[in-house]
Amino acid sequence: MITVHHLENSRSQRVLWLLEELGLPYEVVRYARDPVTMLAPPALKKVHPLGKSPVITDGRITVAETGAIVEYLVDGPGEGRLKPAAGSAEHRRYVYWQHFAEGSAMPPLVMKLVFDQIRKAPVPFLIKPIVRGIADKVVDRFVQPNIAAQLRFLEDEMEGRPWFAGRSFSAADIMMSFPLEAAAAGAGLDERFPRLMDWLQRIHARPAYHRALQTGGPYRIIG
C-alpha cells in the first residue's frame, strides 16, 4: 500500500491529486506544521532524513521529492497513464514542464515568500526601515520581475494548447499546479494572464482535485 506522508498546506497535495487521477489505492499520514516556524515537525525525519514533505513509502521503498514521486507513481503503479507517448512532441514538453515546475518556477516564489516574511518579522524599531527597505529592493528589483517574466512565458506557451504538454491533461499539469497556485496567491498571477487563469479554473474543477482536497484537508498556499 502506498502511504503519503502529507504535510498540511504543502507540495504534497499534488501527490494526493495524482493518486486520485490515477485511481490508485493509498493511505495518508498527516503532519501539522509548527505554528510558530511553519516548518514540518520532527516526526517526518523518521520517514526521510531531511524531514520534509512530500515523501511516500511503498512497502520498503521510500521516495522523496515531488518530481521523483510523480515519476515513480506514473511509470510504476500508474502504468504510464497521464504521460504522453515516448518520442512525441508532447512527451518532450511533458518532461520540460516536469522539471520547470521545481527547477525554474518555484525558486523565485520561495524567495518572495522569504522576503515577505522578513518584512513582517518583529525587529527593533530603529532598524525596521532598513530591514524592510532591503527586502523591498530585492523583491522589486529581482524577484518580482523574474516571476513576471516567467508568467508571461507561461501565458505564451499555453497559446493554442489546453494543457501544458499539449492536447491532453497529464502529470505535467499536476506538477505545474503548485507554482501557479502560489503565483495566484499573491505573486502576480491575475486576469492579465487569461490562459493561465482559465487553466487554473479547469484544474480546480476536476473531480480528482476535489477528492484530493477532501483527503488532504484544508489547503492554502502559505504566504
Domains and CATH numbers, the chain: 2-83+211-216 (3.40.30.10), 89-206 (1.20.1050.10)
Q: Where are the beta strands (DSSP E) in the chain?
A: 2-7, 26-31, 55-58, 61-64
Full-model pTM:
0.90
Are the C-beta atoms of 46 and 52 separated by less than 8 Å? no
What pLDDT digit, counting tens, does each position of 49-101 carry? 998 889 999 999 999 999 999 999 999 999 999 999 999 999 999 999 999 99
| pLDDT for residue 132 is more than 80 | no
Q: What 3-state class would DSSP assign to 171?
A: helix
Q: Which residues contact 146 (CB under 8 A, 6 or more apart)?
A: 108
Sign of the C-alpha dihedral, residues 50, 101, 120, 118? positive
What pLDDT digit, counting tens, does each position of 103-129 carry? 999 999 998 887 777 777 676 766 777
> Max CA-CA distance within the chain?
60
Q: Mean pLDDT of all residues in the chain? A: 91
In eight-state DSSP terms, residue 59 is T
| Local confidence band at 36 (pLDDT 50, 70, 90 cut-offs) | confident
Q: Compute the distance between CA of residue 129 and CA of residue 217 in angstroms, rounded to an integer.
A: 38
**Ramachandran quadrant class, 83 (left: phi over 0; alpha: psi -120 to 50; beta: rest):** beta
pLDDT at 54 (0 to 100) = 93
Residue count (the chain): 223
pLDDT at 10 (0 to 100) = 83
Q: In terms of pLDDT, which residue wins out, 192 or 132?
A: 192
Give the rounded percent of residues in the chain with a pLDDT score beyond 90.
Answer: 70
